[in-house]
Amino acid sequence: MSTAFDAGSVRIRVQGDGARVIAAQVVSQRPQVARVLKGRQADAAATMVPLVFSLCARAQGVAARLALAAARGDESSPRLDPDIVREVMREHLWRWLLDLPVLFGRPPLRDQFTSAVRAVDVGDGEAVQALLAAPEMSRLIESIMALEQPAQQASALLHIDSAQSSLTDWPQLGDELCQTPTWRGQATETGAYARSSGTSVSVSGAFAVRWLARLAELEAWARGAQQIGAGGTASATAVAPGVGRALVETARGLLMHELVLEGDRVADYRIVAPTEWNFHPRGPLSGWLIGRPCADAAELRRFAAQAVAALDPCVRWELTLESLQQM
């Protein structure tokens, strides 16, 4: 299926005084794709969802089907969905083997990626363990640890046990929550680092802890030690008669779908995606940027690229640097 949807972007605007960044604004500008589902026959809408979203399509599709089933009265307790788990592992491998080397000016590890994905697809944990123990991975870990990066600070980490328990915090999903979500009044981070409650790794760098949390999920899968709550967990609940909500832990974090039925058609549909959590205007990125040297624009962009990669958006990102003289 061909679509004309623009996935949107994360826009980062920083202001400098000639020496350092004195202000930073982060905005996730994404179209509300869920609106195109309104009025459609419900099963057709659920089928359309994974065709619209190019990244984490399996997770999006499962969330749509579970939300629809819950709206019809068929709820789902939390479980690890094998297909979503494999998708999460493939995404983590993509980041580690294809994206991360490029951040350090090295070629992507394409052969290792292909072999590792094949191993994930057939459930060969031993092959993935062998890859994670390879010298190439050790060098990447050393490079991450050696990065100049902000010290890790205590931050609000999103942790919701199930779709059912989410009703306590969000009786319904509104427009504001979909665009700039908060949890108990705070901008909150989601993803592998949040799923580990910040305890899976004990290093001081803000970028390193997030990369290593993804690696910890890969290692847990390879050992057969994954538990409910890890990447790939899915659940759904009825919010009200004809209203269903699904929660899925994707590679990038918590994804929420909420669907309202009128007869057999979609009356309303809302999605809260991980990028909106992790690139919230009050999230960690702006704090990492404020105070950074900005006399060398290329160096600032390099740092910003590493910071953005640590949070892992599902869309492109753009950086604009303005000096006080330009304002």
Residue 53 backbone dihedrals phi, psi, to 5 degrees? -95, 115
pLDDT of residue 225 exceeding 80: yes
Kindly state whether residue 233 falls inside one of the protein's structural domains. yes
pLDDT value at residue 4:
45
pLDDT at residue 112, rounded to an integer: 97
Range of the domain at 55: 9-326
Mean pLDDT of the 241-246 span: 98
**Number of structural domains found in the chain:** 1
Does 217 fall in a domain? Answer: yes
216: confidence class by pLDDT, cuts 50, 70, 90: very high
State the Cα angle at 305 between 190 and 134, rounded to 5°.
Answer: 80
Residue 139 lies in a domain: yes
Comparing 8-22, 86-100, 146-160, 230-244, which segment has the lowest mean pLDDT?
A: 146-160
Residue 224 has what pLDDT? 96
- Mean pLDDT across the stretch 57-69? 96
* pLDDT tens string 142-173: 999 999 898 877 778 998 999 999 999 999 99
% of the chain exceeding 90 in pLDDT: 81
Question: Does 248 reside within a domain?
Answer: yes
Q: What is the pLDDT of residue 51?
A: 85
The reported pLDDT for the residue numbered 284 is 93
Indicate whether 110 pLDDT > 70: yes
Report CA dihedral (71, 75, 81, 85) to the nearest 10 degrees: 60
Mean of the per-residue pLDDT values of the chain: 91
Residues of the chain above pLDDT 70, percent: 94
b/e sequence 185-194, b meaning 16+ C-beta within 10 Å: eebbbbbbbb
Q: Which residues contact 314 (CB under 8 A, 6 or more apart)?
A: 7, 55, 56, 252, 273, 274, 275
CA-closest candidate to residue 67, choices 201, 261, 206, 216: 261
Under the banding of pLDDT at 50, 70 and 90, the label for residue 237 is very high
Average pLDDT over residues 196-216: 83
What pLDDT is attached to residue 327? 41
* Residue 3 located in a structural domain: no
Of 5 and 295, which is predicted with more confidence? 295
Q: Is 19 exposed, middle or buried (0-12, 13-18, 19+ CB in 10 A)?
A: exposed
How sure is the predictor about 3, in pLDDT bands with cuts at 50, 70 and 90?
A: very low
Please report which confidence band the pLDDT of residue 200 belongs to, taking 50, 70 and 90 as the band edges: low
Residue with tokens 């892992």: 312
pLDDT of residue 29: 79
Does 56 show up as a binding residue in the annotation? no
Q: Is 314 annotated as a binding residue?
A: yes
**Beta-strand pair 9-16/316-323:** parallel
User: Residue 28 has what pLDDT?
Assistant: 87
CATH number of the domain bearing residue 21: 1.10.645.10
| pLDDT score of 35 | 78
Question: Quick check: is 155 in a domain?
Answer: yes
Alpha carbons 63 and 271: distance in angstroms, whole number: 10
State pLDDT tens for residues 176-197.
999 999 999 999 999 999 998 8
pLDDT at 2: 41
Give the model's pLDDT for residue 8: 79
The answer to whether 300 and 171 are in contact (CB under 8 A) is no
